């Protein structure tokens, strides 16, 4: 289920949770999961709530009334290899226009497969916009759940990744696209 922009001034709950790729900063509003941030070290843990509050025009709190329970459960199952399709309400408030169209289309790319930047551009009716698709991937507020790690270069290269190429490799290995690293 996808939720479009809602009124400003909402409350968002946040937490940092462990994952197979390190700590993740998660935030949700009553409308759905709104933010996933990689590498939630101490510095990011301190900065993210304030940054998110400014972006959403929201109050961000570190408490649990259950908004994050299902996202955490599904992410745990995904990293255990037991979940291939996320079924979560998503709050798309942090993305608009072309980026939102691209990210919505990306949710249709199945687990264990990849798509090229140019292919994704064609899917949204902008065949010359491969670089803009790359920018949309870099601005994805919901990585892993909205699987930008599944977008690769047409020549077979990994392309870029906001969480770092090693994180992208690990996610693609988890999904069976790449072999598990030997070391």
User: 2-3 and 90-91: which strand pairing?
Assistant: parallel
Q: Running DSSP on this structure, what letter comes out for residue 20?
A: B
Q: What separation, in Å, do the N-terminal and C-terminal C-alpha atoms of the chain show? A: 39
Beta-strand runs (E) in the chain: 2-3, 11-17, 24-29, 32-37, 59-61, 90-91, 115-116, 151-152
Active site residue: 148, 152, 171, 172, which one? 148
Task: Identify whether 14 is a catalytic site residue.
Answer: no
Q: How far is CA 132 from CA 76, 97, 120, in A?
A: 31, 12, 10
Catalytic residue positions, numbered: 148
């Amino acid at each position: 289920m996808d939720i479009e922009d809602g009124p400003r001034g909402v409350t968002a709950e946040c937490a940092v949770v462990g994952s197979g790729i390190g700590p993740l900063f998660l935030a949700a509003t009553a409308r759905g999961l709104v933010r996933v941030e990689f590498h939630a070290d101490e510095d990011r843990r301190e900065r993210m709530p304030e940054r998110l509050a400014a972006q959403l025009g929201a109050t961000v709190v570190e408490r649990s009334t259950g908004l994050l329970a299902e996202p955490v459960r599904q992410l745990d199952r995904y990293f255990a290899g037991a979940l291939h399709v996320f079924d979560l309400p998503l709050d798309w408030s942090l993305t608009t226009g072309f980026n939102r169209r691209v990210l919505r289309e990306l949710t249709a790319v199945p687990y264990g497969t990849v798509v090229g930047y140019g292919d994704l551009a064609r899917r949204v009716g902008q065949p010359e916009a491969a670089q803009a698709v790359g920018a949309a991937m870099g601005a994805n507020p919901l990585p892993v759940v909205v699987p930008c790690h599944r977008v690769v270069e047409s020549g077979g290269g990994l392309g870029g990744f906001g969480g770092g190429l090693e994180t992208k490799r690990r996610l693609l290995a988890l999904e069976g696209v790449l072999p598990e690293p030997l070391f």
